[in-house]
Structure 1
Amino acid sequence: MPSAKARIGIAGEDAAAAYLRRLGWNILERNWRSRHLEIDIVAEERETLVFVEVKTRAEGGLQRPFEALTTTKKERLCRAAQAWLEAHDAWSRPCRFDLVCVTSRAGTYHTELIRNVIEYGEQSPRHSLGRRDTSWQPW
């Protein structure tokens, strides 16, 4: 049985996926893994692939959801997205990184979408896969 923290995280991801579907997005995958890398949600908004990180926090907690997206987490997200693109031979697709912030309060969940949380050039070049990268990708 998952811990209370894990149950809240799962419920937050469920709320985020439902929110994105209401926006008309197509959810391609949830909790996609490649070894130690993970992407919470891979979705399509029109022609764009969107790698979505979900952060769930209790309302009134010490940290707001967006504060949990650290530089290290962004680097891991870039590596995970590159692995996903490689696994799906999807290098020609435009993509971006979004964050869904979920705030829980008494069993209810409030969601907020923050688009483009990783900008081009923000990540370290050591994570680049070289010639597979294209100019429109956010790394």
Structure 2
Amino acid sequence: MATSKVTVQFPCPVEQVWQTVTDLAHTAWRSDLAWVEVLDETHFVEHTKSGYATNFTVTDCKALRHWAFTMENGNMSGSWEGIFEAAEGGTRLTCTETVNAKRWWMRPVVPGYLKRQQKLYLDDLRRELLRHS
């Protein structure tokens, strides 16, 4: 199991960060995704540009404060949690992601992959938020 926790600051209101992160109908800002399929209020599927699908189940949603879900695909299972806090000059977002590789030979590469994916997501998010500031 690999866990990555990152805290970042954004120079915009918590409402804007929350709306951007949780709006599954508008994900064009995500450079790794082709599209998101919303199945119902707690289930969605992310489809990467390479055609890989990951299933998500929302486990907690407290507007403007906390969003958490489990995720699973053919290679891994895990969880993600976002804590949204108003901070001086904007918003503090703490993301914690835990991933379990399903194949033993993938376990050594998971920590690096996880950090790269988190960095890509947060870089994309920052670009999108600044574009609308």
TM-score by length of 2: 0.33
Larger strand fraction of residues: 2
Higher relative CO (CA 8 A, sep ≥ 6), structure 1 or 2? Answer: 2
Larger helix fraction of residues: 1
